[in-house]
Amino acid sequence: MPIVNRVADLQPDIQAWRRDIHEHPELLYDVHRTAAFVADRLREFGCDDVVTGLGRTGVVGVIKGRKPGKGDLRGIGLRADMDALPIEEATRLPYASKTPGKMHACGHDGHTAMLLGAARYLAETRNFAGDAVVIFQPAEEGGAGAAAMIRDGLMDRFPIDQVYGMHNNPGLPIGSFALRTGPLMASTDAVDIRIEGLGGHAARPHLCIDTVLAGAQLITALQSIVSRNVDPLEAAVVSICEFHAGNARNVIPQTAELHGTVRTLTAEMRKLVEKRVHEVVAGVAQATGTKIDLNYERGYPVLVNHASQTDFAIEVAKEIAGDANVGEMPPMMGAEDFAFMLEQRPGAFIFCGNGDSAGLHHPAYNFNDEAIVFGTSYWVKLVENMLAA
């Protein structure tokens, strides 16, 4: 497996890049140091074009193969995310975060380093026809950086006819991959509710309109959407995770606030749940005599892997890891803004094993450097097979 062997030679450099990025985590769009690090490496590798500032702080590199693209396929995009999380790191590693309250708790440092490794290999060999477009995206963790890059012309300015993404997966063995055709990750919508009643003394509830009682009824009623409106063979989540009301044990509060999230796996179910949330809120307001304001904001869409590109990704993964180490990933209710890119172009999102590590977004999480050779090799093989010279 010459690709894997060659990438293994690059492992020390890729690991060093990963650990440098890990030491200097940055949030959302404020990834200026990381973006500069990426752009400098891409220029050193000899990329034919390096564009910065796309989607505010995104970086794109174009690597041209030895031959022009064949047929309708001019080139493909490979995407990695660069941002970290607002979490205090608890790993005590020698290369742990140097910035209090920030850490790479989701492995984006590894994603960035692996794609840099692939870019270096592809720029050296150019054993493909057409263009490999490497995409380094900010603000995956809630900032919709993918959508921002698309608005800045990502899909129009570069020859991206298909697009592919990758994420590490704790619990999946090192050297393994997993994916599936169709819905893989959920849409995520934000629910913000403000309830206004009539505050007063806790000993005279009959003279008040109790916002705490209304909020409790509303939380219970919202659960009926999943239990009684959603087909049991489909998936939806309504989670109210914040309830803020009052500051004294003997005062019925004038207002209360609820905040939560809605997750679904199809566009149709997303529409249904949104409609029912509005209806339930209106019903509880009428029943309790409160005034309830609902702000329902759509976030990331459902991530849907395209059939043909997923089949191709499976075959590439099998070449790298062997048939027994490529499995089907069940749908999950977490969200990923790579979904925006898959709405624009056909492609596939794959998970690579991170071994027996702490979970994503955990303060003890660390990307496993042993995964580097497999993830980087997957990127290289994907380009060389899809854009065969």
The CATH code of the domain that includes 284 is: 3.30.70.360
Whichever domain contains 64, its CATH number is: 3.40.630.10
For the cut 80, the answer to whether the pLDDT of residue 14 exceeds it is: yes
C-alpha to C-alpha distance for 152 and 146, rounded to whole angstroms: 10
Helix (H) or strand (E) holding 309, with range, is helix 307-321
Confidence tier at 67 by pLDDT (50, 70, 90): confident
Q: Measuring CA to CA, which residue among 51, 63, 23 is closest to residue 136?
A: 51
List, for residues 361-375, the tens digit of each pLDDT value.
999 999 999 999 999
Contact 242, 259 (CB under 8 A): yes
C-alpha to C-alpha distance for 313 and 306, rounded to whole angstroms: 10
What's the confidence (pLDDT) of residue 1? 58
List, for residues 101-125, the tens digit of each pLDDT value.
999 999 999 999 999 999 999 999 9
List, for residues 294-339, the tens digit of each pLDDT value.
999 999 999 999 999 999 999 999 999 999 999 999 999 999 999 9
How crowded is residue 30: how many other Cβ atoms within 10 Å of its Cβ? 17
Q: Is the pTM of this model over 0.85?
A: yes
Same domain, 251 and 211: yes
Contacts of 386 by beta carbon, 8 Å cutoff, 6+ apart: 73, 76, 162, 312
The three-state secondary structure class of 252 is strand
Same domain, 44 and 86: yes
C-alpha to C-alpha distance for 362 and 370, rounded to whole angstroms: 19
Same domain, 12 and 139: yes
Backbone phi, then psi, for 32, in 5-degree steps? -65, -45
List, for residues 245-277, the tens digit of each pLDDT value.
999 999 999 999 999 999 999 999 999 999 999
Give me the domain span that covers residue 236.
187-298
What's the confidence (pLDDT) of residue 72? 80
Alpha-helical regions (H) of 126-204: 145-151, 154-157
C-alpha to C-alpha distance for 35 and 31, rounded to whole angstroms: 6
List, for residues 121-141, the tens digit of each pLDDT value.
999 999 999 999 999 999 999
C-alpha to C-alpha distance for 122 and 225, rounded to whole angstroms: 50
What's the confidence (pLDDT) of residue 57? 98
Confidence tier at 2 by pLDDT (50, 70, 90): low
Q: What is the mean pLDDT of the chain?
A: 97
Same domain, 98 and 201: no
For the cut 80, the answer to whether the pLDDT of residue 75 exceeds it is: yes
C-alpha to C-alpha distance for 252 and 264, rounded to whole angstroms: 35
The three-state secondary structure class of 19 is helix
Domain count across the chain = 2
List, for residues 171-224, the tens digit of each pLDDT value.
999 999 999 999 999 999 999 999 999 999 999 999 999 999 999 999 999 999
C-alpha to C-alpha distance for 36 and 261, rounded to whole angstroms: 34
Contact 77, 350 (CB under 8 A): no
Same domain, 68 and 217: no
Same domain, 327 and 247: no
